[in-house]
Amino acid sequence: MTSETSQLRVQDIHLSFGGTKALVGVSFNVNQGEILAIIGPNGAGKTSLLNCFNRFYRPEKGWIVFEGNDLTQLAPYRIAQLGIARTFQNIALYTGMSVLDNLMAARHVHMKYGMLVGALYFGPALKEEVRHRRVVEDIIDFLEIEHIRKAVVGALPYGLRKRVELGRALALEPKLLLLDEPMAGMNLEEKEDMARFVLDIHELQKTTILLIEHDMGLVMDIADRVVVLDFGLKIAEGTPDEIKNDPKVIQAYLGEDIGVAQTESGVQ
């Protein structure tokens, strides 16, 4: 894969917090319509990297180029306007609002009319409201959350809140979807549902997806390629089969000598 064919290019990203190096020279490319998983032990720098994509953090060195735009030089709202949406490791919803209102809030980047026209709420503003509402209702149907559409988010079970957060990200109509541990804390049935939704988004909408996930079985099943981080360094990149047989990856996860780790993992 060359940079010319890549939708997203991450080049030599460095990020530190005081004396702690969170990311050290991380580089990789992502193709249009690909599911790329970013994995690694706790503290490897996975979420820090996603935070650089949205400018929650600004890298000290390097650049992140999405469709010709250097994200390290843009404000967060401009990055959202480019079509980059995400979910969070710790759910970040408006807990006092309904499911419907949370999803409608994500439509702000597509709204054309300002405060004055919106306050009058007739003519163009009403038509725009109806148009955005149709998009949101389609997402509610897709995620099978019709029964909670008017429920207050803060009163919902954890698994459903995760699904609502995915819906809010989809309401931005993203070209690039960043998922930070979307299955964390879920039971087996909830994980299976979420994996199905992720695959459907990928197949039906051709959305490029960057996925951080600790469930290795799931990652190996749905990812096209995998990038592995350890202590802020990229230690491996390749297909799921290549990654699960990589001695450096086995050592990073098991914390043992490579020869011992290979033997216990059944890797020859």
Structure confidence at residue 256 (pLDDT): 54
Q: How many CB atoms lie within 10 A of CB 115?
A: 7
User: What pLDDT does residue 266 have?
Assistant: 40
19-34: per-residue pLDDT in tens?
899 999 999 999 999 9
pLDDT at 129 over 60: yes
The answer regarding whether domain 31-58+69-83+174-268 maps to CATH 3.40.50.300 reads: yes
Q: What is the mean pLDDT of residues 59-67?
A: 96
C-alpha dihedral (199, 205, 208, 209), degrees to nearest 10: -30
Can you give the pLDDT at residue 69?
Answer: 95
Structural domain boundaries in the chain: 31-58+69-83+174-268, 93-172
pLDDT for res 155:
94
Percentage of the residues of the chain whose pLDDT score is greater than 70 = 87
Better-predicted residue by pLDDT, 3 or 91: 91
Indicate whether 122 pLDDT > 80.
no
Yes or no: say if 10 and 29 are a contact pair by the CB < 8 Å rule.
Answer: yes
The structure's pTM equals 0.85
Per-residue pLDDT of 71-99, as tens digits, reads 999 999 999 999 999 999 888 898 999 99
Which residues, listed in sequence order, are joined to residue 82 by a DSSP beta bridge? none
